[in-house]
Amino acid sequence: MKVTVDQAKCVSAGNCVAHAPDVFDQDEDDGSVVLLDDSPPADRAEAVREAAAACPAMAISIEE
């Protein structure tokens, strides 16, 4: 799994962090998504998929 984020699309909702806090974080200044792990382990894959699905701006892309 390869994860990418589009900073320009991010609306700082924080849903990604709620679903996968070990993969995503939020910037302290503007709340935008910070990708902590662009190749998360298989045991985090479902949480990452849920985070991507929950993103209101569709700023998270996953390549399986």
pLDDT of residue 32: 95
pLDDT of residue 30: 95
Give the total number of structural domains in the chain: 1
Domain carrying residue 31: 2-63
pLDDT one-digit tens code per residue, 27-57: 999 999 999 999 999 999 999 999 999 999 9
Query: How far is C-alpha 15 from the chain's CA centre?
Result: 8
At 16, which CATH number? 3.30.70.20
| Number of neighbours of residue 7 by Cβ within 10 angstroms | 12
pLDDT of residue 33: 96
- Cα separations in angstroms, 50 against 4, 29, 37, 40: 14, 25, 16, 14
Distance CA(28)–CA(17), nearest Å, equals: 13
Distance CA(59)–CA(52), nearest Å, equals: 8
Share of the chain above pLDDT 90, in %: 100
Confidence of residue 15 (pLDDT cuts 50, 70, 90): very high
